[in-house]
Amino acid sequence: MLDVSGAGESLRNLWSLTLGDGIAPRHSTEHVVVATGGHRTVRRYADDEQVRAARAAGRAPVLLVPPIAAPASCYDLSPEHSVVAHLRDTGRVPYVVDFGTISRADRGMGFPDFIADIIPSAIDTALADYDDEGGQVDLYGWSLGGTLSLLTAAAAEDRSIRSVVTVATPLDYNRLPGYPLARTLAKPTGGAGTTALLRLLGGIPAPLVQVAYRATSWDRELKKPWFVATHLAETETLKRMEAIDRFQRDFPGYPGRLVEQMWITIILRDQLAAGVLDFDGLTVDLHGIDVPVQLFGSHRDALCSWGAAHHGVELLSGSPLVKFTTVESSHLGLLAGPDAVAHTWPTVDDFLNSVDGLVDARSSRV
């Protein structure tokens, strides 16, 4: 018998993807905006009752830090793959700092703006909203957001950070394809040509970032028409594809000063892998991080090799606890996909619970 319902589903999905407004509306987990401002909007993804319950249980709020050139929606990708919803549903209170749109007008922003101003300000905002001023947060960062989280923890002059989670965060650019060659080619001129180009551009514009990100999964882009054609009746599968496509279209750009510092400090001078970085006079020593850290890596990640992520185990020598977990998935899949749901999220839960235990143990000894 002819499957009329399946044919109807296929036709509806085809219309929605081509001439309609999409298969599903843009997703956004219910939240409260607790602060706005220049590149530092902070949202809380829990209601007042959930905040009171988490505070009574002695749980620290979790501040999620996005990468510079990816939207903060990475933590709320879809109903099934929302990091913030999962944290809320497990009794945590998640906050997200949103850096917003990056334009040429922001070309003077560098790493110090984020790690010594914007993120510490977001930490203060989260703690004030959580009614725990003088307390601590757990930082949680994906990709370059993990780098920013670690640098913030290293630069912090107070005790406002309790632990750090990084997902698919490269900490040794020697282990990323292409970077050692780029350093070798640039060595005779000290990278002057690339530096001049970056200054001329004022950073890396959003369209270039979007194209570059798609290029890392070029096989997915080439296969997409066939994928759609063979999955037209599978609405849930197409919803996930649509959510990823929307996410990629929202990528902002890199501010000029920051990308120049990445080029000179992290790539040319290899200071990230060594652990001590100098950003125009602001020295950050990653060896000084003295809080528990959970790292994640994958052999299937096209943007962050397993070795580049695993380097943190030896790099973060001052931490009392450094855990590394391998979850074989794509760069985004490590954070928000079926593999993340099955492996990354439960591991983060266990890690945060263990940090709760460490804090309780210290408190009982005082």
3-state secondary structure of 193: helix
Query: Can you tell me the mean pLDDT for 202-208?
Result: 66
| Banded pLDDT at 64 (limits 50, 70, 90) | very high
Domain annotation covers residue 120: yes
Query: Tokens 């209601």 label which residue?
Result: 47
How far is C-alpha 50 from the geometric centre of its chain's CA atoms?
24
pTM for the model stands at 0.86
Length of the chain: 366
Whether 56 contacts 309, CB under 8 Å? no
CATH of the domain at 353: 3.40.50.1820
List the structure tokens of 192: 């002057």
Helix (H, G, I), strand (E, B) or coil at 160: coil
**CA 66/CA 58 separation, integer angstroms:** 25
Q: Give the span between the Cα atoms of 147 and 152, in whole angstroms.
A: 8
Say if 218 falls within a structural domain.
yes
Q: Token pair of 366, please?
A: 């005082």
List the domain range (segments joined by +) for residue 138: 27-365
Express each pLDDT in 72-103 by its tens digit: 999 999 999 999 999 999 999 999 999 988 88
Residue whose C-alpha is closest to residue 140's, from 242, 293, 270: 293
210 pLDDT band (50/70/90 cuts)? low
Of the pLDDT bands very low, low, confident and very high (cuts 50, 70, 90), residue 14 is low
DSSP state of 117: I
* Residue 3 domain-assigned (yes or no): no
Pick the closest to residue 36 from 47, 45, 44, 46 (CA basis): 44
The pLDDT tens digits of the residues spanning 288-329 come to: 999 999 999 999 999 999 999 999 999 999 999 999 999 999
User: Residue 345 pLDDT > 80, yes or no?
Assistant: yes
Quick one: average pLDDT of 32-57? 95
Residue found by looking up tokens 């296929």 in the block? 10
Return the number of other C-beta atoms located less than 10 Å from residue 37's C-beta: 12
Residue 151 lies in a domain: yes
Q: Say how many domains are in the chain.
A: 1
User: For residue 246, is it within any domain?
Assistant: yes
Question: For residue 67, which amino acid is it?
Answer: P
Q: What percent of the chain has pLDDT over 90?
A: 60
Q: Which of 142-151, 255-264, 283-292 has the lowest mean pLDDT?
A: 255-264
Average pLDDT over residues 248-258: 78
Q: In this model, does residue 343 exceed pLDDT 50?
A: yes
Residue 4 lies in a domain: no
DSSP single-letter state for residue 253: -
Residue 20 placed within a domain: no
Are 334 and 301 within 8 A, CB to CB?
yes
d(CA 20, CA 94): 34
**CA 25 to each of CA 15, 209, 337: distance values in angstroms, whole numbers, following the listed order:** 15, 25, 19
Q: What single-letter DSSP state applies at residue 137? A: E
